[in-house]
Chain A
Amino acid sequence: MSPRLRAIVMRLVQAIPVVIGVVVISFILTRALPGDPAVYFAGAAADEASIAEVREAMGLDKPLPQQFLRYVLDLVQGDFGQSVSSGQPVITDLANRLPASLELTLTALILSCAIAIPLGVLAAKKPGSFVDQLCRVLVTAGVSLPTFFTGIVLVYIFYYLLEIAPSPLGRLDFAYIEPDSITGFYLIDAAIAGDWETWFAAFKQIILPAVTLALFTLAPIARMTRAAMLSALSSDFIRTAKAAGLNNTRVTYGYAFRNALLPIVTTLGMVFSFSLGANVLVEKVFAWPGIGSYAVEALVVSDYAAVQGFVLSMALLFVTLNLVIDLTYSLIDPRIGFESK
């Protein structure tokens, strides 16, 4: 086994206690939520008897330790339980909705990186210049505008007034059939199928929500890029490189930027995780069938299995994300070895 592979396995082993903790905490938290799912799911005109029936059917009449044991046993077999409100296995619900959220979040991140990183670099190279001011304005706006507000304003301007954006009706207008699911990402699936008509339709639908989310994620990335670049540019090795007469571009991008990348990647990881959460509001405005709205709906009706499934899948996602970030570190900076950890 190569040292790197062993390191990855070690990291995965270290994630096990985290996942166990998440399982226990999510179980206890859902039970501590206000609201009685049995009452809710028994329906509007239910009497005591039918509430008791539902409670029994949901297995909520058993003592908590027993419920927990059943839950864990199911989990071990890869069964996340049944969502009462959707009547589907939770795993199916998540598989349907997670790609929608990921597609939106990743598109927004790519977009905001494409703008924020160059902007941050330029702002750092010329502090106080016009670009620096522009960067400051964007960062302030991005931080202070709530996402749902940005979303509604964008809908109002581009769809309602200018009529250049398509109806904000989720991932595809009703005139199109979604592409056969391979990855669950419409843009990728449609491209694989070579169906550019649908690809373009899906692309048009994703622009506004992605821009909304990008505006929100732009700020931390741009700010971090600027700060990291400033400190890199003022460091000793850059002065040495300049004194040695290396050309400017090489110094900026070869040495300074590569060193600045580490904090930027860290920020990216954090931004990715909180933008998955911030998604909820964007999903509501654009009728985007993502995981955030699913979790909120599940919380409102105390759908235990669905909430637990959501928390658990998010935890697994973050464990993976952190691993990816650590690996990226070692690619960027060869001095960072896994062995030393």
Chain B
Amino acid sequence: MTLATSRRNFLKMSGGVLGASTLPFLKSLPAQAAGKDVIVAVTGQTINSLDLHRKGTNRASYQVAVNCYDRLVSFGTKEAPGGGLSYDYSKIEPELAESWTVSEDGLTLTFKLKKDAKFWDGSKVTAEDVKWSFDRAVSVGGFPSVQMKAGGLVKPEQFEAVDDETFVIKLERPSKLTIPDLAVPVPFIINSKVAKANATEKDPWATDYLHKTPAGSGAFKVAKWMPGEQLVYERNDDWVGGPLPAAKRVIVREVPSPATRRALIEKGNVQLSFNIPNKDAKELADKVDVYSTPIENCMHCVGLNYTFEPFQDPNVRKAVAYSIPYEEIFQTAAYGRGAKLWGGPETIDSIEWPRKSPYYTDLDKAKELMAKSGFASGFSVPFSISLGLADWMEPTALLIQENLAKIGISTEIEKIPGANWRTAALVEKKLPLHLENFGGWLNTPDYYFFWAYKKGHLFNSSNYLNPEIEKLVDDTLHMPMDDPKYAPNIMRMFEIAFEDLPRIPLWQPALNVAANGATDYEFWFHRQLDIRPLKGV
């Protein structure tokens, strides 16, 4: 049930009491009201579902899972590079669980739920609800189940509701990723009583119902959702998952045109513009507050496909890496937003990731390497980019194309429609030379390598296979970060990756947000807007 909204309580909610009043607004009211209590944000994306577990739910909709539902645990907060705040991967904080213990062998996690946690309908949040929600996440298939699997959460038998306030997870093997994986948007806690009441034989997980009507315990309820237009959030005053949000109402309006979004934020008619283009971020920086947060564990890179014969030659791969005009790309495609990922030290000295590769622009060196390779007379190769990501891929590809021509590699840029890109690049992995981007939700280098450097894994678009990497990733993925073997393993991975170069790092992209009348914006790895910490001015 979305709450019926009437004029009177629309901007100054009187505790959700419905007065069917038709008091007209005064002309000045919107401007005043959109202050401390009401925040209006604009975004270019459509929120197409209120249920992250549904098949076909898009990325923009993940924000609902975060703003309207609670998880057992959440991440802490830290100062972000590039201004503003950011989630803190190293700090796990309670959300619905007030405490948890891990057994000696690391195989049993026991969570104690907060006693006063209530769903929106006033019913108590019990371990039974948690179990039902976790069962749902591992059973619906698709992305939610894949993400649960990353933390070792695979089947309903692993979850047990011992009593109302005690929830137990049993693991096959201990993993450092399990608890962080409980803080990602996927394992959110649903009011199972409401959901079960609306489930059917054909739809045991109530996906049809929850798609339009969330049933949670989170900081905000959905007051109104008009797909393609807006989502209106209303604060849940009984929220126990964290500090009570400052804003009573947050309105997320969808405005497809970046030019219009820019005018709105500059004028101050909206308080926040989410995920703005790099160019606008650069130009708006001296007019409004702009936060450009480098996205953790995320890289834009050039993919060299190992199935394409010339790229099996290490000299060719390095020649390509030395020919790329990194600085120009960073200024032209990224407008200097984000972090540089080239010109790093020759030797690996830390486990920092994403990190600068040891390569830099040196055409003479690139030509030398080409001369040493088995393809001294050059070759030609198609260079594929996605039309859906043309804003950064196109300028990048053009600049790389120009320099590759200087070392005897002629490329023709092939623009692939967005709907086709994933199939060609990631599923069939058939693009010899292409641009690629992957960001890992769980912020450890081994997690990145697991997805992008292991044979057959989705984001390994280069068909790269190196037995040592395979073993290193398998050994390290679940290993605690304070294990003495952890850092040496990671550094060895870096060494191999920079030697074999299936992916040449370009830069770490930033998520840009402009604020004009709202403060305390916090960056999250899922790259969607978390409205809970926002404050109006």
B55, B58, B260, B420: the one contacting A168 at CB < 8 Å is B260
**Contact of A287 with B255 in the complex, beta carbons under 8 Å:** yes
Question: Measured between alpha carbons, how far is A204 from B216 in the docked complex, in Å?
Answer: 38
Number of A-B contacts (CB under 8 A): 157
**Contact of B142 with A54 in the complex, beta carbons under 8 Å:** yes
What residues of chain A lie closer than 8 Å to B24, measured between beta carbons?
195, 197
A195 to chain B: closest residue by CB: B22
Question: Measured between alpha carbons, how far is A86 from B228 in the docked complex, in Å?
Answer: 9
Within the complex, the shortest CB–CB distance from B400 to chain A, in Å, comes to: 25
Q: A207: CB under 8 A from chain B?
A: no
Q: B251: CB under 8 A from chain A?
A: yes
Sort chain A's interface into a size bin. 35 or more
Question: Measured between alpha carbons, how far is A54 from B22 in the docked complex, in Å?
Answer: 46
A190-207: which have CB < 8 Å to B?
Answer: 195, 197
**Contact of A45 with B147 in the complex, beta carbons under 8 Å:** yes
What residues of chain B lie closer than 8 Å to A48, measured between beta carbons?
427
**Contact of B40 with A174 in the complex, beta carbons under 8 Å:** yes
Within the complex, the shortest CB–CB distance from A18 to chain B, in Å, comes to: 29
**Contact of A57 with B260 in the complex, beta carbons under 8 Å:** no
Question: Measured between alpha carbons, how far is A214 from B423 in the docked complex, in Å?
Answer: 41
Q: A156: CB under 8 A from chain B?
A: yes
**Contact of B143 with A50 in the complex, beta carbons under 8 Å:** yes
**Contact of A293 with B256 in the complex, beta carbons under 8 Å:** yes
What residues of chain A lie closer than 8 Å to B143, measured between beta carbons?
42-46, 50
Interface-centre pick from A37, A156, A167 (highest chain B CB count, 10 A): A167
Question: Measured between alpha carbons, how far is A215 from B6 in the docked complex, in Å?
Answer: 37
Within the complex, the shortest CB–CB distance from B450 to chain A, in Å, comes to: 11
Question: Measured between alpha carbons, how far is A34 from B386 in the docked complex, in Å?
Answer: 13
**Contact of A44 with B7 in the complex, beta carbons under 8 Å:** no
Question: Measured between alpha carbons, how far is A39 from B7 in the docked complex, in Å?
Answer: 43
Question: Measured between alpha carbons, how far is A42 from B146 in the docked complex, in Å?
Answer: 11
Interface-centre pick from B141, B256, B264, B270 (highest chain A CB count, 10 A): B256
What residues of chain B lie closer than 8 Å to A294, measured between beta carbons?
228
Given contacts A46-B143, A50-B142, A156-B263, contact A287 B256 (CB under 8 A): yes
Interface-centre pick from A41, A152, A159, A174 (highest chain B CB count, 10 A): A174
A50, A53, A152, A170: the one contacting B253 at CB < 8 Å is A170
Q: B48: CB under 8 A from chain A?
A: yes
Within the complex, the shortest CB–CB distance from B113 to chain A, in Å, comes to: 29
Question: Measured between alpha carbons, how far is A86 from B211 in the docked complex, in Å?
Answer: 9
Question: Measured between alpha carbons, how far is A88 from B48 in the docked complex, in Å?
Answer: 9
What residues of chain B lie closer than 8 Å to A37, measured between beta carbons?
419
**Contact of A87 with B49 in the complex, beta carbons under 8 Å:** yes
Given contacts A50-B145, A197-B25, A293-B256, contact A160 B48 (CB under 8 A): no
**Contact of B228 with A41 in the complex, beta carbons under 8 Å:** no
Taken residue by residue from 109 to 122, chain A's Cβ proximity to chain B (1 for < 8 Å, 0 otherwise) reads as 00000000000000
What residues of chain B lie closer than 8 Å to A293, measured between beta carbons?
228, 256
Within the complex, the shortest CB–CB distance from A41 to chain B, in Å, comes to: 4
Q: A173: CB under 8 A from chain B?
A: yes
Question: Measured between alpha carbons, how far is A88 from B22 in the docked complex, in Å?
Answer: 31
Question: Measured between alpha carbons, how far is A87 from B46 in the docked complex, in Å?
Answer: 13
Interface-centre pick from A46, A87, A171 (highest chain B CB count, 10 A): A87
**Contact of B142 with A34 in the complex, beta carbons under 8 Å:** no
Q: A131: CB under 8 A from chain B?
A: no
**Contact of B267 with A284 in the complex, beta carbons under 8 Å:** no
- 30 A/B residue pairs, CB under 8 Å, sorted by A: A33-B419, A34-B417, A39-B422, A40-B419, A45-B147, A47-B146, A49-B141, A54-B142, A86-B48, A86-B49, A87-B211, A152-B257, A152-B260, A156-B263, A159-B263, A159-B267, A160-B266, A160-B267, A163-B267, A167-B264, A168-B260, A169-B269, A173-B30, A174-B230, A175-B25, A177-B5, A177-B6, A197-B24, A293-B228, A294-B228
List residues of chain B with CB under 8 Å of any chain A CB.
Answer: 5-7, 10-11, 22, 24-25, 29-30, 33-34, 40, 42, 46, 48-49, 54-59, 141-143, 145-147, 211-212, 226-230, 251, 253-257, 259-260, 263-264, 266-267, 269-270, 388, 417-420, 422-423, 427, 451, 458
A84-B56, A169-B253, A286-B260 known; 14 new pairs, CB 8 Å cut-off, are A35-B418, A43-B143, A44-B143, A45-B143, A87-B56, A155-B263, A160-B266, A169-B264, A169-B269, A170-B229, A173-B30, A284-B257, A287-B260, A297-B228
A-B CB proximity, top 9 nearest: A35-B419, A43-B143, A175-B30, A197-B24, A84-B56, A287-B255, A41-B56, A167-B269, A34-B420
